[in-house]
Amino acid sequence: MDDGPPRLDLPAGYRVGEWTLNGRLGAGSWGVVYAAEDAAGGRAAVKLLPTHLLPPGQRESMEQLVRREVRFSLEADHPHVVRTRAALTLHDPHRPELEGVTALVMDRAERSLQELLADGAGVADGAGVADGAGGSGGSDGPGNGDPDGPGPVPGAGRVLAGVAAGLAHIHGRGWVHGDLKPGNVLLAPEGEVWLADFGLTAELDGTHAYVPPLGSLDHVPPEWWSDREGGRSVVRPTADIWAFGVLAHQVLTGGAHPFPGGTARARALAAQAYARGHAELRLDNRLPAPWRELIADCLRPDHASRAALGAAELAARAEALRAVPARDDAGRAGWGGRAGRAGKDAAPSGPGPGGASRPPGARRRRRLAVLAAAVGVPVAGAATVAGFLLADGTAAPENKPEATASAGRVPGALPARSDVPRSLRPMLTRAARLCADEDITPALLAAMLKAESGFDAKARRPRTDEYGIAMWTPSVFKAWAVDGDHDGDKDYMSPPDAISTMSTYVCWLDQQFKEKGMREDMPGLLAAGYRTSSRTVIEEGGVPQRTRSHVNRVKRYLKQYTS
Ligand SMILES: Nc1ncnc2c1ncn2[C@@H]1O[C@H](COP(=O)(O)OP(=O)(O)OP(=O)(O)O)[C@@H](O)[C@H]1O
């Protein structure tokens, strides 16, 4: 990163809309970012994008990028994407240099992943923005550092799971981020992980999009160098998958790039040699096996072979690995992050299938074993985004929702007599099995469906853009979609797809709330989160008033189904 030509030095106290600037946080290639506070003293960050200070030759394309950045920043809505609160155009007769500057007001992070890596290790990040830019400082690549050298960044698994979930959201919306690198991953004070910087984000037109040939040389895939049309780069979602592989390697090794070389250009050449079959992929030998497999899948040499791994599956696998110690030598695992519940159970007792470990505990053991087996193989139609998720490859007997290793009824299994349509029961059971957390039960899903649509597969509420049995908003569904009936497509009007997707989404909500210490009244929180968003529930510290009557209905039905 450099400090970019257009510098805007604004004093502390300067007002941008309702926000007061409070010192500069940093500058990227074409943006300057300031700390800011809103009228109530809330933290914010303001990014100024001063295209008009650029020479006329660059201005037009930069203006296009700024328009893109504004659009995608405002449209993205996911807990792992930085929230953009406003986009303003500045005008100040006393400061002509600000005329027409775009200001993006965002939630403020503590620092970027790049800064975290740089604190603990000599690290490679973006190497300039233009094709042909020189290298930035960086590591020499894999395996050649001190074996006791820099460890994984604190919370490596959590950070990577967050990045992958953000990416799954972006791809689910039909976009490519286009500039995934540690400098564009923000870490917030409460441990949140946010993807940021949509300057190179593009909407896919079919399978690909075109962007100016800009980006981090350390994170662009090998085909980036040759895939050009009319001076623009062809980008596909697999470019982000490659970038994730590089970034994951860096995060898990404290900064080592997966390809050898003292400069970004040299590392890029090494990646191209590998892509042409002239060199093997040699990942750092300290990586634990399941992470190594995932990174190797991300770094497959060409777009076509990489395309087997979609971002939703990537997110599911990263989520499953969040608790795997970030180094193979468990004694030294530099694991600063909080392990999730599955993490505690998955304390290593030796590598299992795919290198993952076997936890104690009957119900969870079976489920996590399935998960471990799923790691490293494509999990068609079953891998999902949420925490604690599994590939549901081991189908339970269809009409025996209660079937488990133990006798007796499982908490949350549907009673034999209830108003839940018979045809939905196996679906509900299978959907609940997608989530290994015991809060997510067939009974809870049934109660939510009844409150959402009254079990009506054709339900529609066009005014609020909600459809089908689980009342999905199509664009939101797209970001989470699961092919519940394995028919090759994901359709919010199809009950198996809608219900499986509801389960994975609710599973993820459950995890978000627990991470924030919210454990009381989980069915209420989940029903409210499903109606609004995790962020709304977390910000309001519980069930928002406006969802109370809906939530009470869900709880009433749940009581019927569990009493
Ligand atoms: N929301 C935020 N909260 C805190 N810091 C931020 C935020 N957004 C950006 N920053 C910091 O500001 C600096 C510059 O931001 P950013 O990288 O987005 O600019 P840029 O011009 O798009 O950069 P580049 O194109 O080189 O990636 C970075 O160091 C980043 O850590």
Residue whose tokens read 């977390």:
538
The finding on whether 28 has its CB within 6 A of some atom of ligand 1 is yes
Q: Give residue 325's pLDDT.
A: 63
The finding on whether 108 has its CB within 6 A of some atom of ligand 1 is yes
264, 136 in Cβ contact below 8 A? yes
Show the DSSP H helices in 355-494 as ranges: 362-374, 425-433, 442-453, 474-480
What is the layout of strands, in order, in the sheet containing 32-37?
15-16, 19-27, 32-37, 43-49, 102-106, 84-89
pLDDT band, very low/low/confident/very high, at 212 (cuts 50, 70, 90):
low
Instruction: Write the DSSP assignment of 288-308 as a string of letters.
Output: -HHHHHHHHHHT-SSHHHHTT
pLDDT tens per residue, range 270-298 = 999 999 999 999 999 889 889 999 999 99
Q: Give residue 322's pLDDT.
A: 83
Give the lowest-confidence range in 120-129, 176-185, 215-224, 300-309: 120-129
Q: Which structure tokens are listed for 47?
A: 């990014």
**Ligand 1 midpoint to CA 170 (Å):** 19
- Indicate if the pLDDT at residue 58 is higher than 80: no
**Residue of minimum CA distance from atom 10 in ligand 1:** 33
The finding on whether 29 has its CB within 6 A of some atom of ligand 1 is yes
**Residue of minimum CA distance from atom 8 in ligand 1:** 33
**Residue of minimum CA distance from atom 31 in ligand 1:** 112
Share of the chain above pLDDT 90, in %: 41
pLDDT band, very low/low/confident/very high, at 53 (cuts 50, 70, 90):
low
Where is pLDDT greater, at 474 or 2? Answer: 474
Q: Give residue 364's pLDDT.
A: 26
Average pLDDT of the chain is 76
- The candidate with the shortest Cα–Cα distance to 427, out of 445, 453, 411, is 445
Where is pLDDT greater, at 53 or 168? Answer: 168
Q: Give residue 124's pLDDT.
A: 37
**Ligand 1 midpoint to CA 424 (Å):** 48
- The candidate with the shortest Cα–Cα distance to 402, out of 425, 380, 384, 423, is 425
pLDDT (mean) for 418-429: 90
Q: Give residue 530's pLDDT.
A: 94
Q: Give residue 52's pLDDT.
A: 67
Q: Give residue 149's pLDDT.
A: 63
Q: Give residue 38's pLDDT.
A: 92
The finding on whether 386 has its CB within 6 A of some atom of ligand 1 is no
Distance between CA atoms of residues 450 and 178, nearest Å:
41
- Indicate if the pLDDT at residue 368 is higher than 70: no
Instruction: Write the DSSP assignment of 54-82 as a string of letters.
Output: S-HHHHHHHHHHHHHHHHHHHH---TTBP
Q: Give residue 271's pLDDT.
A: 94
- Indicate if the pLDDT at residue 199 is higher than 50: yes
The finding on whether 106 has its CB within 6 A of some atom of ligand 1 is yes
- The candidate with the shortest Cα–Cα distance to 186, out of 250, 124, 106, is 106
**Residue of minimum CA distance from atom 22 in ligand 1:** 28
The finding on whether 215 has its CB within 6 A of some atom of ligand 1 is no
The finding on whether 36 has its CB within 6 A of some atom of ligand 1 is no
pTM over 0.90: no
- The candidate with the shortest Cα–Cα distance to 242, out of 317, 301, 201, is 301
- Indicate if the pLDDT at residue 70 is higher than 50: yes
pLDDT tens per residue, range 306-356 = 998 899 999 999 998 887 766 543 333 322 222 222 222 222 222 222 222
pLDDT band, very low/low/confident/very high, at 61 (cuts 50, 70, 90):
low
**Nearest atom within ligand 1 for CA of residue 200:** 25
Q: Which residues, other chains included, contact 164 with Cβ-Cβ below 8 Å and sequence gap of 6+? A: 244, 311, 314, 315, 317, 318, 319
Distance between CA atoms of residues 448 and 439, nearest Å:
13
Q: Give residue 509's pLDDT.
A: 86
**Residue of minimum CA distance from atom 11 in ligand 1:** 26
Give the lowest-confidence range in 98-107, 409-418, 492-501: 409-418
Element (H, E) at 255: none
pLDDT (mean) for 243-259: 96
Number of Cβ within 10 Å of residue 280's Cβ equals: 8
Q: Give residue 377's pLDDT.
A: 23
**Residue of minimum CA distance from atom 4 in ligand 1:** 109
pLDDT (mean) for 233-256: 93
Share of the chain above pLDDT 70, in %: 74
- Indicate if the pLDDT at residue 362 is higher than 70: no
Distance between CA atoms of residues 364 and 342, nearest Å:
8
Q: Give residue 400's pLDDT.
A: 26
47 is in an annotated binding site: yes
- Indicate if the pLDDT at residue 398 is higher than 50: no
Q: Give residue 185's pLDDT.
A: 97
pLDDT band, very low/low/confident/very high, at 174 (cuts 50, 70, 90):
confident
pLDDT band, very low/low/confident/very high, at 486 (cuts 50, 70, 90):
confident
| Amino acid letter, 208 | H
Q: Give residue 180's pLDDT.
A: 95
Torsions phi, psi of 443, nearest 5?
A: -65, -45
